[in-house]
Amino acid sequence: MPQQTQMLSILDLLEMKRVGEKISCLTAYDASFSSLIDLAGIDVMLVGDSLGMVVQGKTTTVPVSIEDMVYHTKCVTNARRRAFVIADLPFLSYFSSENALINAAELMQKGGAQMVKLEGAHTVIIDALVNFGVPVCGHLGLLPQSINQLGEYKVQGKKSRDAEKIANDAKRIEQAGASLLVLECIPAELAKKISQELTIPVIGIGAGLECDGQVLVLYDMLGISIGKRPKFSKNFMASSIGISDAISQFQRAVKQLDFPAAEHSYN
């Protein structure tokens, strides 16, 4: 009889943190890439609102709508067999608990996501979502939805006061009931400290080697994004024979602690 592929759950990700196995994660936006990523054994697919930039050609993630997110999440989950799927709540889709619950329902019921991600330490919103059975992934460090406040995409938490705030916010997010946390573009030492302090898995992007897992924007790691690739990313296509091979190389590099290297990290 053919072996049934078991879909990963949050318990599998928690167990990976407990035993020290790194969690691999890539963004995905459509069925064909979803299938390739899944077949390569990547643990988590994130339907990121980065789709606004890499798929829709916008300059920021701000214009992405909940309808866009539901559409792309559905495309990804249609082809997924094993990977755990997280979908982003887009800009201003979680300004109140009610608003967040309505939009999380869209992503989970129509899109098929297993978890939603939101940017910032909005603990009241996280608590409300969790109380209604919505698993939440937090996101701290560089918050792309706040680009119009930040003015530029750059490393966060370099000053000790800012680092302290990020570390405290991470604890508050865990206490509010989040099951996962993404740390984007912060010094490796800070990400290491947060990963050690939290019991929930911490997935890094530009946050050094010592997070519990690594995520990259798919189009960056395939070298097909418009514009300059961020320092923390790596073009895995450069040394591969094709897309599936590049994704498998990323998978191996994360599991074997070969990625990210020092050149992809911040001090």
Residues in the site for ligand KIV, rule: CB under 6 A? 27, 46, 48-50, 88, 182, 184, 205, 215, 217
Of 52 and 187, CB closest to ligand KIV: 52
Report the nearest approach of ligand KIV to the CB of residue 115 (Å).
Answer: 13
* Residue 231 near residue 208 (C-beta atoms within 8 A): no
Whats the size of the chain, residue-wise?
Answer: 267
Nearer to ligand KIV, 161 or 213 (CB): 213
Smallest gap, in angstroms, from Cβ of residue 203 to ligand KIV?
A: 8
Q: How far is the CB of 145 from ligand KIV (least distance, A)?
A: 9
**Residue of 15, 184, 189, 197 marked catalytic:** 184
Do 16 and 87 contact (CB within 8 A), yes or no?
no
d(CA 64, CA 58) in angstroms, rounded, equals: 9
Q: Which residue is nearest to ligand KIV (CB)?
A: 48
CB 27 within 8 A of CB 217: yes
Shorter beta-carbon distance to ligand KIV: residue 5 or 212? 212
Nearer to ligand KIV, 37 or 205 (CB): 205
- The sign of the dihedral angle between the CA atoms of 267, 136, 62, 73 is positive
Alpha helices in 176-237 (DSSP H): 188-197, 218-221
Q: Which of 203, 204, 239, 236 is nearest to 220 (CA)?
A: 236
Tell the smallest beta-carbon distance from residue 241 to ligand KIV (Å).
26
The CB-of-2 to ligand KIV minimum distance in angstroms stands at 33
Helix (H, G, I), strand (E, B) or coil at 224: coil
Query: Is 152 one of the annotated active-site residues of the chain?
Result: no
Q: Which whole-number Å values give the CA distances from 132 to 100, 123, 142, 153, in the listed order?
A: 11, 14, 28, 34
Nearer to ligand KIV by C-beta: 131 or 224?
224
Which residue in this structure is represented by tokens 């990625």?
A: 259
| Residues designated as active site | 184
